[in-house]
Amino acid sequence: MRALVTSCVAFLMLLILAPSSAAAAPPKDSCIACHAELEGKQSEPVKKFDTDVHHQAGLSCADCHGGDPGDESMNAMSRARGFRGAPTKAQTPEFCARCHSDIAYMHRFNPKMRADQLSQYLTSVHGKRLKQGDTKVAACVDCHGVHDILPARDTRSPVHPTNVASTCGRCHADAAHMKGYNIPTDQEEKYRKSVHAELLASGDTSAPTCSTCHGNHGATPPGVSSVANICGTCHVFFAQLFEKSPHQAAFAKMGLPGCVQCHSNHEIVKPSDDWVGTGSSAVCTGCHSAGDKGYVAAQKMAGDLAKVKTFLGRAEEILGTAERSGMEVSSPKVELTTAHEALIKARVNVHSFNDVEVQKQTDQGVEISQKAYQAGVAALAERDVRRKGLGVSLIFILLAISGLYWKIRQIESGSRT
Amino acid sequence: MNALYRQIRNWLDERFGTGSVEEFLRHKTVPIHRHTLWYYFGGMTLFLFVVQVLTGILLLLYYRPTPEDAFESVQYIVTQVRFGWLIRSVHSWSANLMVLTAFIHMFSVYFLKAYRKPRELTWISGMILLFVVMGFGFSGYLLPWNTLAFFATKVGTEMAGAVPFAGKWMLTFLRGGEEVTGATLTRFFGFHVAVLPGLATVLLAMHLLLVQRLGMSVPPSVEQATAEGRQAPRVMPFFPNFLLRDIIGWYAALGVLGALAAVFPWELGAKADPFAAAPAGIRPEWYFLFMFQTLKLLPAKILFLEGELAGLVGFSLAGAVWVAVPFLDYRAGFGRVTRFFTGLGIFALGFIVVMSALALR
């Protein structure tokens, strides 16, 4: 009897618990269930979607493509159920912008998220050309990928700063793809040789890549007049000096791009002091010729830079010799860093194209270098005095030792006799 | 002149009884045999200790033991103070030479069995003096407050922290807190100029008194040869014959110190920055290298102990055995040489040399 009661209670418990267990199971997504079973291209989205940022945020296929993931029949993909299908290339920006332009919706996932990508894109060369029916240009998925989209901060993302040049280069370095656009295809190759690429490769993700200068969604080539502004967003002081310099008006008049005229655009290599002056590597002689005011100023600036470098080198060499001799020269070495700073400031002042401003800094560098050199001379003189002193002391010590030795011999020969 | 000298001597004798000291010195002799050379290393160590005391006092006139001023004050000494460079370099070089001569003295005493009865206390006081000398080296290394010293002290004091039970307390005691800071510098300065000199003075007095009281030990082989009549007992008067020879050695040491200071002035390096990353190749002073290298080579776990801890326990036990060797090798007191202890000495010396060489590679 007792066993019967126990069995009944257990059966009732099962009846009560069964519906709640069924309710706890996750809702079935028929898109994933069916596409996972399909072969080839049809199953690709499902395979990739696991790592996608949208999936991570809890979105499903239907959130973009519409349809009814609760329906296991083919009706799930009917227009009646809101199925939108895959967008064409031309439809992609608006397709993504359904959510990405809705700031209220986007802020549910990230309060700092911007929602102006579409409006920016439409101002870009890519966006304008797409509107004109050119489907070879980049739209959202060409840069961000599709179904396996990663956040831009993820180093695997094609739009992470370290991957941007390769992503842009996929089209822009492809001569066949770019045929007909009449623009060069060597930008990526040149950029790879630049100081910017070098910095980025060294792990400095703040170093500029394509999108830093050209913009990302609103990608556009900077015009001649705006080049200095773009470089000046990072190189602020140089831009200010250039703005106040006589070159600013002259360049504008001649239609020359500011910074790019001397530094190039994509292949921005480390500048050298040889660029200033009238030598074979100088960039000044591109416009200035012997006898004109700019030519004379360039010669003067180059001479002043060379002078401070000569004095600095001389001071460094003598302090290095003194240090290797064991002399304590850390103070003049610290002072010499001020001379280095003066040289750096002089190099910056070159962008004012005012030889007097440059000379102010180089004179300061020369003065400090001379003092440091004198400290080095004094240290080496002190070293020589020490060594001479040592020699004299050693002679006295040897004499004392000889005297003691003689005394011992005297005492011991006396005690033997 | 002689009359005045006699008068002063008599005056001192009446008050201090210096006559008995003179009498003692007149009769004090030093044995002559093929191992006599090793007798000079004790005196050489004492001479270098005196150099340390004198140069240390001179450095104290300018040195300031705070993290803000320590480095700058040493920099001032070596660049601005007249002969400051010489004093500082001699102090540093002499410290290293003193440790070297102390080690030579210790091993020569060990291999010549000079620790045997009745010189057990001479050996023990000498061993404690050696530890004190190493303590001088460890505490003095930090005082210039440069990068290398700072991080070497950090590593060195961390080792003390690995000791079971008392480790945490020892670490805090040595550092004056959890980290190497200005408190550590002040503390090490206190150890270096007050605690250790006080200890060293007492121990040195005891060590020298015992040496005078018991005389120089003659190696068992020489003793046996003399007893069997194979070798005639030969001695030389301590004063002046041995002392003059000692002074020749001291002059030579002075010459070596001067040459090292003038040609290889002791480097000052860069000021310590507690927030900077430890530079590569941080290692302690050469006389701690064998321990440092051994701890580095030990596996992470030995039986149930952490490798580093097992190493520290091993070194502590080895140190205790080494100090107690006069009692363990009691047979040496009866003129019987035990090969085991000679072998142990060779092993210890070889171990120190090989491990130090490995660390310096």
B144-195 pLDDT, tens digit per residue, is 999 999 999 998 898 888 887 888 999 999 999 999 999 999 999 999 999 9
Q: Provide CB contacts within 8 A for A288, sequence distance 6+.
A: A278, A294, A295, A298
The pLDDT value given to residue A7: 53
Closest CA–CA distance from residue B114 to any residue of chain A (Å): 27
Give residue A181's pLDDT.
Answer: 92
Q: How confident is the model at residue B135 (pLDDT cuts 50, 70, 90)?
A: very high
Q: Which residues pair with B301 in a beta bridge?
A: B306
Residue B248 with chain A: CB contacts under 8 Å: 401, 404-405
What is the structure's pLDDT at A367?
97
Say how many residues make up chain A. 417
Give the residue-averaged pLDDT of A127-141.
94
Burial letters A266-275, b for 16+ CB under 10 A, else e: bbbeeeebeb
CB B101 within 8 A of CB B249: no
The CB-side HSE value for A216 (13 A sphere, CA atoms) comes to 19
Using only C-alpha atoms, chain B has a radius of gyration, in whole angstroms, of 23
pLDDT in tens, A245-298: 999 899 888 888 888 889 988 999 999 999 999 999 999 998 999 989 999 999
Residue from the list A326, A398, A400 with its beta carbon closest to the beta carbon of B264: A326
Matching residue, tokens 């004094």: A378
Report pLDDT for A402.
Answer: 97
Q: Which amino acid is at A39?
A: E
Contact by Cβ (8 Å): B310, B298: yes
CB-side neighbour CA atoms (13 Å) of A105: 11
Angle (CA) A113-A114-A115 rounded to 5° is 120
Task: Please state which of the ranges A218-227, B111-120, B157-166, B329-338 shows the lowest mean pLDDT.
Answer: A218-227
CA distance B258 to chain A (A): 6
User: Is the predicted pLDDT of residue B128 greater than 80, yes or no?
Assistant: yes
Distance set, CA A249 to CA A240, A244, A257, A294, B273 (Å): 14, 9, 11, 14, 50
Which of B42, B41, B71 has its CA nearest to residue B273? Answer: B71
Q: Taking CA atoms, what residue in B is nearest to A323? A: B267
B251 interaction partners in chain A (CB closer than 8 Å): 397, 400-401, 404
| Rounded Cα–Cα distance for residues A195 and A318 (Å) | 32
Q: Is the pLDDT of residue A75 over 90?
A: no
* Helices A355-416 & A330-349 angle (0-180, nearest 10): 160
Does the beta-carbon distance from B263 to A400 stay under 8 Å? no
Residue B104: which H helix or E strand, with range? helix B84-111
Give B247's contacts in chain A (Cβ within 8 Å).
Answer: 404
CB atoms within 10 A of CB B171: 19
Question: CA of B147 to nearest chain A CA: how many angstroms apart?
Answer: 14
Chain B hits for A328, CB-CB cut-off 8 Å, are 75, 78-79, 85, 265, 268
Three-state helix/strand/coil letters over chain A: CHHHHHHHHHHHHHHHHHHHHHHHCCCCCHHHHHHHHCCHHHCHHHHHHCCCHHHHCCCCHHHHHCCCCCCCCHHHHCHHHCCCCCCCCCCHHHHHHHHHCCHHHHCCCCCCCCCCHHHHHHHCHHHHHHHCCCCCCCCHHHHHCCCCCCCCCCCCCCCCHHHHHHHHHHHHCCHHHHCCCCCCCCHHHHHHCCHHHHHHHCCCCCCCCHHHHHCCCCCCCCCHHHHHHHHHCCCHHHHHHHHHCHHHHHHHHHCCCHHHHHHCCCCCCCCCHHHCCCCCCCCHHHCCCCCCHHHHHHHHHHHHHHHHHHHHHHHHHHHHHHHHCCCCCHHHHHHHHHHHHHHHHHHHHHHHCCHHHHHHHHHHHHHHHHHHHHHHHHHHHHHHHHHHHHHHHHHHHHHHHHHHHHHHHHHHHHHHC
Select the residue of B79, B85, B241 nearest A412 (Cβ to Cβ). Answer: B241
- Tell me which of B79, B89, B247 to substitute to probe the interface with A (most A C-beta atoms closer than 10 Å): B79
Which residues in chain A have Cβ-Cβ distances shorter than 8 Å to B253?
none
- Residues of chain A with Cβ-Cβ distance to B78 below 8 Å are 328
- Measured between alpha carbons, how far is A221 from A227 in angstroms, rounded to an integer? 9
Residue A253 CA: distances (Å) to CA of A247, A248, A250, A284, A354: 10, 9, 5, 17, 20
The one-letter code for the residue type at A304 is D
Beta-carbon separation of B265 and A326 below 8 A: yes
Do A404 and B79 count as a contact with CB atoms less than 8 A apart? no
Hey, is the C-beta of A356 within 8 angstroms of any chain B C-beta?
A: no
pLDDT at A377 > cutoff 70: yes
Side-chain half-sphere exposure of B142, counting CA atoms within 13 A? 32
The contacts of residue B22 (CB under 8 Å, 6+ apart) are none
Minimal Cβ distance to B241: which of A387, A394, A408: A408
Provide the 3-class DSSP secondary structure of residue B30. Answer: strand
Chain B closest CA to A381's CA: distance in Å? 13
Residues of B in contact with A394 (CB under 8 A): 255, 258-259
Q: Are the beta carbons of A390 and B244 separated by less than 8 Å?
A: no
Instruction: Give chain A's mean pLDDT.
Output: 89
Question: How many other β-carbons are positioned within 10 Å of the β-carbon of residue B268?
Answer: 19
The answer to whether A389 contacts B262, with C-beta atoms less than 8 Å apart, is yes
What is the rounded distance in angstroms from the CA atom of residue B35 to the CA atom of residue B114? 12
What residues of chain A lie within 8 A of the CB of B86, using their CB? Answer: 386
Q: Which structural domains are found in chain B, ordered by start?
A: 31-270 (1.20.810.10)
With bands split at pLDDT 50, 70 and 90, how would you rate the model's confidence at B1?
low
pLDDT in tens, A146-198: 999 999 999 999 999 999 999 999 999 999 999 989 899 999 999 999 999 99
Please give the domain boundaries of chain A with CATH numbers for all domains.
173-204 (no CATH), 293-416 (1.20.140)
Q: How far is B57 from chain A (nearest CA, A)?
A: 22
Q: Is A385 on the interface with B (CB under 8 A)?
A: no
The whole-angstrom separation of Cα A37 and Cα A296 is 78
Distance from chain centroid for Cα B318: 18
Nearest to B78 among A328, A390, A411 (CB): A328
Q: Is A169 exposed, middle or buried (0-12, 13-18, 19+ CB in 10 A)?
A: middle
* Shortest alpha-carbon distance between residue B75 and chain A (Å): 8
Give how far B266 is from chain A: nearest CA, Å. 7
Q: What are A10-27's pLDDT values in tens digits?
A: 544 444 444 444 444 556
Contact A328 B241 (CB under 8 A): no
A390 with B258: Cβ contact below 8 A: yes
Count Cβ–Cβ pairs < 8 Å, chain A vs chain B.
56
B156 within 8 A of B312, measured Cβ to Cβ? no
Determine the residue of chain A that is closest to B77 in CA distance: A328
Once rounded to an integer, what is the mean pLDDT over residues A300-329?
Answer: 95
At residue A417 the predicted structure's pLDDT band, cuts being 50, 70 and 90, is low
Which of B263, B264, B266, B268 should be substituted to probe chain A, the one whose Cβ sees the most A Cβ atoms within 10 Å? Answer: B263
Residue range A318-342: mean pLDDT, rounded: 93
Write out chain B residues lying below 8 Å of A407, CB-based: 240, 244
Distance from CA of A390 to the nearest CA of B (A): 6
How many angstroms separate the CA atoms of B237 and B333, rounded?
A: 26
Cα separation of A273 and A387, whole Å?
Answer: 41
**In chain A, what percentage of residues exceed pLDDT 70?**
91
Q: How far is CA A349 from CA A235, A239, A346, A361, A370, in A?
A: 13, 11, 5, 8, 22
Q: CB neighbours (10 Å) of residue A106?
A: 17
Quick one: what percent of chain B has pLDDT higher than 70?
100
Please answer yes or no on whether A390 and B268 come within 8 Å at the CB atom. no
Q: Verify whether the Cβ–Cβ distance A397 to B254 is below 8 Å.
A: yes
Matching residue, tokens 């505490």: B139
Q: A32: which 2 tokens?
A: 């994933």
pLDDT in tens, B18-48: 888 888 888 999 999 999 999 999 999 999 9
Which residue among B75, B78, B251 places its CB closest to the CB of A397?
A: B251
Of B71, B143, B133, B88, nearest in space to B106 by CA: B133
- Distance between CA B134 and CA B288 in Å, rounded? 9
Structural contact between residues B152 and B282, judged by C-beta atoms closer than 8 angstroms: yes
When CB atoms are compared, the residue of A390, A394, A404 closest to B244 is A404
State which residue of chain B sits closest to A332, comparing Cα positions: B79
Closest CA to A303 of A230, A353, A362, A371: A362
- Residue A372 distance to chain B (closest CA, Å): 15
Burial A290-304 (b: 16+ CB within 10 A, else e): eeeebbebbbbbbeb
User: Given this model, what pLDDT does residue A352 score?
Assistant: 94
* Single-letter amino acid code for the residue at B266: W
From the number of C-beta atoms within 10 Å of its C-beta (0-12, 13-18, 19+), residue A236 rates as exposed
Burial class (CB in 10 A: 0-12, 13-18, 19+), A151: middle
Q: Which residue of A has its CA nearest to B74?
A: A328
Q: Residue B244 is nearest to which of A331, A398, A408, comparing CB atoms?
A: A408
| Cross-chain residue pair A331–B75, CB shorter than 8 Å | yes
Candidates A262, A196, A264, A241; CA nearest to A348 is: A241
* Residues found in chain B: 361
pLDDT at A415: 65
For residue B29, give the 3-state DSSP assignment.
Answer: strand
Q: Calculate mean pLDDT across residues B112-126.
A: 96
Rounded CA gap, A247 and A373, in Å? 37
- Among candidates A331, A387, A408 on the partner chain, residue whose Cβ is nearest the Cβ of B79: A331
- Which CB contacts under 8 angstroms, 24+ apart, belong to A269-272? A269/A193, A269/A194, A269/A195, A270/A195, A271/A347
For A10-29, b where at least 16 C-beta lie within 10 A, e where not — what string? eeeeeeeeeeeeeeeeeeeb
Residues of chain B in contact with residue A413, where contact means CB-CB under 8 angstroms, are none
Classify each residue of A188-207 as buried b or exposed e, where b means 16 or more C-beta atoms within 10 Å of its C-beta: bebbbebebbeebeeeeeeb
Residues of A in contact with B258 (CB under 8 A): 390, 393-394, 397
Which of the 8 DSSP states describes residue B146?
B
CB contact at 8 A, B142 and B149: yes
A45-70 burial, b for 16+ CB within 10 Å, e for fewer?
A: bbeebeebbbbeeeebbbebbbbbbe
Mutation to test the B interface, candidates A398, A402, A404, A412, most B Cβ within 10 Å: A404
Band (A133; pLDDT cuts 50, 70, 90): very high
Q: Which residue of A has its CA nearest to B235?
A: A412
Give the lowest-confidence range in A72-81, B96-105, B191-200, B309-318: A72-81
**H or E segment to which residue B137 belongs:** helix B120-142
A326 touches chain B (CB under 8 A): yes
CA distance A274 to A282: 6
